[in-house]
Amino acid sequence: MKIKIISTSDVHGYIYPTNYSTANDVKPYGMLKAATIIHDIKHQATDDEIVIDVENGDWIQGSSFANYIARQKADNKHAIFSEITSLIGYDASILGNHEFNYGLDYIRTSESKRKYPILGANIDGGIKQKIVDQPYVILEQKGIKIAILGLTTQYIPNWEKPKNIEGLKFNSAVEVAKKYVPKLKKLADVVVVAYHGGFEADLSTGAPTEAMTGENEGYQMLKEVEGIDALITGHQHREIAGVYHDVPVTQPGEKGVAIGEIELTLNDDKKVIQKNAKLIPTAGARLFQPVRYLTAKTETEVQQWLDSPVGRVTGASLMIDDPMLARIKGHPYLDFINKVEMAATGSDIAATALFNDEVRGLGTHVTIRQILNSYGYPNTLVVERITGADLKLALEKSASFFAVNNGRIDISDPFKFPKVQYYNYDYYSGIEYEFDLRQPIGSRVVNLKYHNKPVENDQSLNVTLNQYRGNGGGGYEMFSNAKIIKEINVDVAELIMKYFEEHQQVKGVQPQNLNVVY
C-alpha cells in the first residue's frame, strides 16, 4: 500500500495566479492551480494508494483578495476561505501565525463552512475559543489508520497583538510532539506531523541558520521526536523536499507555487518500508474550475475595488525604481509612510520597512491597488517610549542589514538566508543618522541626532512602530509590549487611504536624514 501525503502551506490568500500589480498580471502560482493538481492526484489514485491532503496554514491573509475579504463586514464573505478549502477536499488544516492577524472572530467566521478539522495540539485554549477542533485526527482508509498531529509555531505572542490571541497559550511544538507522537504510534499505523513552522538549522549539517528563539523547531523535532513517519512544514516560505534523519520532509514555498508530496510505501504488516518526498510545481497546471466558479464574482469585485482612486502625488516620485538605493538613502515613499504613521500617532519619530523588492510605491494617481501592493501587511501601529540607547540598538540592527562586498554595498547573509527577511530593515524619519559600514556590526551607528542635538543614551523618546516590530519582531529585542504607551488599532493601509482623504494631493519629498558611508 502507498500513502501520498500532499500539502499546501503559506498560500496567503493567493487564489488566482496574480499578484494584483495590474488588472492583467499573471503569475505561475495560486490556489486555483494547486487545487487542480490536488484533484488529479486524488482522482488518479489506484486501489493500493491512499491520498491525504493537508492545508498547513497562513491561508487567509496576504493577497489583495484576502485584504478585500477582511474589509467586508458580512461574515458570509469571510467564509469563502473555508468554502474553497472544503470544495478542494482537504482532510485537515493547521493555523499559521498570520491566521491571527485579524483576530479570533475572523478565524471563526473564515472557517465557519469547513468540512475538515482544524488541528492545534500546542495551542492551549484553542478548542475553548472555537478556533481549533482537536489536537489530532485519525483517518482510516483502506484498512490503514493515519494520524495527523497539528502544530503551530509557538512564537506568535512575540508578533501578535494580545487581543488577537486572548485566552490562548502557545507551547513548544517539540515538547508537545514528544507527548503526542508516542500515543499516536499506538493508535495509528502512520503518524504525520503537520507543523506551521520551519527549520532553525541546516537539515544536513545541523549548523544553526538563525537565532534559537523557538520560532522554528523543525530540526530539533527531527532529532528528538521518535516515531514521526512524515513531517509537513511551512512558515519560512522555503522550498524543501527530502528525507532527513530518516523522516520525509516537505515545505512547499509560498502562494501555491508548489505542492508538497510525501510518499510512504507500507508492507503487509503496515510498516513503512520506503519513503520519499518531492515538490510538484503548479506553474503549468490549469485553473480548478469549481473554485473559479465559486470565487469569480468576488474576484471581479476585488479588481474593481483595487482600481478605486484615492489621491494624487506631486513633487518627488513615490515610485521605487531601485529598492536597494531606497534603503541606503531613504526614499520619498518611505518618508511618506512615516509621515502617515506620525500623523496617526502624534509622535515625531517613526520607522517603516520596504517589505520586499517587489514593492513599487505609489504613482502620480494613487489607487487602492498601489497601496496594497506596497503595504499589504495588516499591521497596526504602536508608540513606544524608549531610551536613546534603545534607539541606537535598533539602528545597529538595521545597519547589520548591509554588507560590503568588492567595494559595493550588498545585503548581509542573515537577511537573505535561509529565509529572505528584507522586512527587518527599518528606515527612520524624525532623526538624523549615519551608518559607517567600515565599522564592525554593532558599532556602525554614528552622528545620531534628534532635533539637531546628539541623542543621549538615557534620553526619553517616543517612537512609532508597527505592532510586529513593537513586539520585538525581527530580532528587535529592545522593543517590547511593556514600552507601549499608545496603540492605533487601524491597519496602516487603511491609514494611508484616510490620509489621502484628508490630503487629496500629497507632495513627495526626498529625505536627507540618512547617510551611509563605506
Distance of CA 423 to the CA centre of its chain: 11
8 Å CB contact between 281 and 258: yes
Tell me whether strands 247-252 and 239-244 are parallel, antiparallel or unpaired: antiparallel
pTM across the whole model: 0.93
Q: What parts of the chain have a pLDDT lower than 50?
A: none
**Residue 383 amino acid letter:** V
Q: Report the topology of domain 2-295.
A: Purple Acid Phosphatase; chain A, domain 2 (3.60.21)
Angstrom distance (rounded) from CA 338 to CA 502 = 16
What's phi and psi for 122, nearest 5 deg? -105, 15
* Cα–Cα–Cα angle for 428, 159, 214, rounded to 5 degrees: 120
Strand partners, 54: 7, 92
Q: How far is CA 51 from CA 2, 150, 263, 290, in A?
A: 9, 18, 9, 20
SS3 280: strand
On the question of a cis peptide bond just before residue 162, with omega within 30 degrees of 0, the verdict is no
pLDDT at 75: 73
Burial of 498 (0-12, 13-18, 19+ CB in 10 A): middle
- At how many degrees (to 10) do helices 289-306 and 31-43 cross? 180
Q: How far is CA 182 from CA 5, 149, 264, 326, in A?
A: 20, 11, 19, 52
List the grid coordinates of 459: 534620553
8 Å CB contact between 314 and 327: no
What's phi and psi for 469, nearest 5 deg? -70, -40
Task: Give the helix/strand (H/E) hosting 279.
Answer: strand 272-281
SS3 359: coil
pLDDT at 429: 99
Break the chain into its structural domains and give their ranges.
Answer: 2-295, 309-517
Angstrom distance (rounded) from CA 149 to CA 162 = 26
Rg over CA atoms, the chain: 24
- Please name the CATH architecture into which domain 309-517 falls: Alpha-Beta Complex (3.90)
pLDDT at 504: 83
Tell me whether strands 123-124 and 118-119 are parallel, antiparallel or unpaired: unpaired
pLDDT at 84: 99
Task: Kindly report, residue by residue over 402-449, the tens digit of the pLDDT.
Answer: 999 999 999 999 999 988 999 999 999 999 999 999 999 999 999 999
Task: Kindly report, residue by residue over 113-147, the tens digit of the pLDDT.
Answer: 999 999 999 999 999 999 999 999 999 999 999 99
pLDDT at 152: 99
